[in-house]
Amino acid sequence: MSFLEYLFLFGSMGLVTYLPRWLPLFYLAHRELPKWLIDWLSLIPVAILCSLLAPILFSDQTTRSLELGKPEFLVAVPTLLFAVKTKSLGGTVLVGMGLFRLSAFLPI
Amino acid sequence: MGRQTIDKNKPQPDDTAWFRDGLLASWPICFGYIPIGLALGVLGNQAGIPVWAVTMMSILVFAGSAQFICVAMLTAGASGWSIIFTTFVVNLRHILMSSAVAVHLNGVRRLFLSFFAYGITDESFAVNMARFREKNWDPKRAITVNQLANLAWVTATTVGALVGQFIPRGAFGTDYALTAMFLALLLFQLHNAVYILTGIIALILGTAWYILIPGDSYIIGTSITAATIGYFFKRYREKQK
């Protein structure tokens, strides 16, 4: 592919990615939002985080089938406990990484 | 010229505090982007995409999952239009994040909003929303997080395309960095029973949706459904009081 072909492809991909990121922010940030919408939107971060985490924790992502007790989930339990105890984001990331590295040596 | 004396008791204006705060908030994202970016760069390289084109894609698109799909589709010989359409569908979920972050950027200049929108990703969104809740966060710090994450992403994918094949996959458990970050951010957002219920519904529904329905609709579908059920549960609880 030539420079212009790549530019067209990635430029178009960038545009269709940018629009959904931009339109709601551009319009909603200058509007009085109704209380029900604010309440609903306040639940969106938790809902998105859980829907992103669900397949990582509970499924085999190559075959897209249910898999309970996979290392990602088993490591998540002590990682969450560490997060509850310390309230530290960076510390939790490091502990999660360390435990996940160690989980490779477990006979699971 | 007389020597300038610094009064230690007088608070000195700290012009770099916003940058330091942004850096502190964004390092887990940047850290997590390294293995993913390297992997993308390697795949792009194997698919025959030149290094400069990988960099160009990361700058113009800045969306991890869509970029992986793009590389896979290019390898499979898909048409440009089908790649663009798939990218659009995969990235529609940002509508929800953009709407939710708008609550915290109320009244901010439209030019700033237009720059800010470019950096809205799953990761920067989650980090910024958690910080905004703590009240000591502002648009300048938030966009710093967006831009540092962007810089890490562009750098990691470029390095991956250049030398990625020499780096062993999964070293230091870096594959788990973003998962651990999401877990911690999720935990920090569970303020009461409404949030916990929303999260549990999203986990169960998200798993089922992901297994049963091909594609990426599970993210938007699950998020909207779980937030809506959570919202009605909140209203129900308020009526009971």
Residue B128, CB-side half-sphere exposure with 13 Å CA sphere: 30
Q: What is the pLDDT of residue A108?
A: 57
| Amino acid at position A94, single letter | L
DSSP-assigned letter for residue A66: E
Q: What angle do CA A46, B86, B126 make, to 5 degrees?
A: 20
| Terminal Cα-to-Cα distance of chain B (whole angstroms) | 70
Q: What is the pLDDT of residue B13?
A: 57
Q: Do residues A21 and A39 share a domain?
A: no
pLDDT of A36-56, one tens digit each? 998 998 899 899 889 989 999
DSSP-assigned letter for residue B13: P
> In the structure encoding, which two tokens stand for residue B239, read together?
């009526």
Q: Say if residues B117 and A18 touch (Cβ distance below 8 Å).
A: yes
Q: Do residues A101 and A75 share a domain?
A: yes
**Owning domain of residue A6:** 1-31
Is B136 in a helix, a strand, or coil? coil
Domain count, chain A: 3
User: pTM of this prediction?
Assistant: 0.81
Q: Say if residues A100 and A75 touch (Cβ distance below 8 Å).
A: yes
Flag if B87 and A16 touch (Cβ within 8 Å): yes
pLDDT of B89-114, one tens digit each? 888 889 999 999 999 999 999 999 99
Alpha carbon distance A64, B137 (integer Å): 39
| 58-87 in chain A: CB under 8 A from chain B | 58-59, 64-66, 72, 75-76, 79-80, 83-84, 87
Q: What is the pLDDT of residue B170?
A: 63
* Domain spans in chain B, listed from the N-terminal domain onward: 17-177, 190-241
CA dihedral (B179, B27, B187, B128) in degrees, to 10, reads -120
Q: Do residues A93 and A83 share a domain?
A: yes
* pLDDT over 70 at B129, yes or no: yes
Residue of A4, A7, A10, A58 to mutate when probing chain B, most B C-beta within 10 A: A10
Q: What is the pLDDT of residue A88?
A: 83
> In the structure encoding, which two tokens stand for residue A32, read together?
């009085």
| H-only helix segments in chain A | 3-28, 35-42, 44-58, 71-86, 89-103
Q: Do residues A73 and A108 share a domain?
A: yes
Residue of A2, A3, A5, A17 to mutate when probing chain B, most B C-beta within 10 A: A17
Q: Do residues A85 and A102 share a domain?
A: yes
Q: What is the pLDDT of residue B14?
A: 65
Alpha carbon distance B191, B206 (integer Å): 21
Alpha carbon distance B90, A55 (integer Å): 16
Alpha carbon distance A20, B117 (integer Å): 9
| Terminal Cα-to-Cα distance of chain A (whole angstroms) | 45
State the nearest Cα–Cα gap between A102 and chain B, in angstroms.
8
pLDDT of A59-94, one tens digit each? 998 999 999 999 999 999 999 999 999 988 888 988
Alpha carbon distance B116, B119 (integer Å): 6
Cross-strand partners of B66 = none
Q: Do residues A45 and A17 share a domain?
A: no
